[in-house]
Amino acid sequence: MPSFDIVSKVDPQTLENAINTAKKELATRYDLRDTKGGIELDKKANTIQLSSENSMRIKALEDILLTRIVKQGIDGTALDFTAEEQASGTLVKKTIKVRAGVDKEAGRKIIKTIKDSKIKVEAQMQDDQIRVSAKKIDDLQAVIALLRRTDNGQPLQFVNMKS
């Protein structure tokens, strides 16, 4: 039976390259040249730490980071900017989470979208991915087209196509 998996992941090397490029831009920008703090990547926690003197510079760091990530080919929705800024001594810090995997709520929304479309496929949640199977490959391609048209709040990749 033909099937494929819906996943949401970011290539760690591409992310690291984007952050290194953002650090270089931070060092060369005139308005941010003597800024304390900067941009740090925590690979284990899958987060990005921004730190600066005030929230205006944090917003500038977010803009630099988002621009560099999009230029590297990573979808901007892979970053979760919803965390609040926290004061830490003389610096303001913000932790940005890198989304990896399809979480339960988003998975339910995707499965509901697939079922509401009346395409004859079977979708099931497996850990942090969704397995979609059908009798015809054309139905699977219709599901991929449907999900590309809808906004799911995070980037989706369609992998492991088996026929």
Q: How many residues does the chain have?
A: 163
Put simply, whether the predicted model's pTM sits higher than 0.95 gets the answer: no
Measured between alpha carbons, how far is 61 from 45 in angstroms, rounded to an integer? 20
Q: Are 22 and 65 in contact (CB under 8 A)?
A: yes
On the question of pLDDT at 37 being above 80, the answer is no
* Bridge partner list, 132: 4, 123
Q: What is the DSSP string of 83-129?
A: SPPEEETTEEEEEEEEP-S--HHHHHHHHHHHHHTT-SEEEEEETTE
Measured between alpha carbons, how far is 27 from 31 in angstroms, rounded to an integer? 10
Is the CA virtual torsion 47, 5, 77, 102 positive or negative? negative
Q: What is the structure's pLDDT at 20?
A: 92
Q: With bands split at pLDDT 50, 70 and 90, how would you rate the model's confidence at 157? A: confident
Helix (H, G, I), strand (E, B) or coil at 42: strand
Measured between alpha carbons, how far is 55 from 51 in angstroms, rounded to an integer? 9
- pLDDT single digits (tens) 72-124: 998 888 888 887 778 777 888 889 999 888 888 888 888 898 888 888 888 88
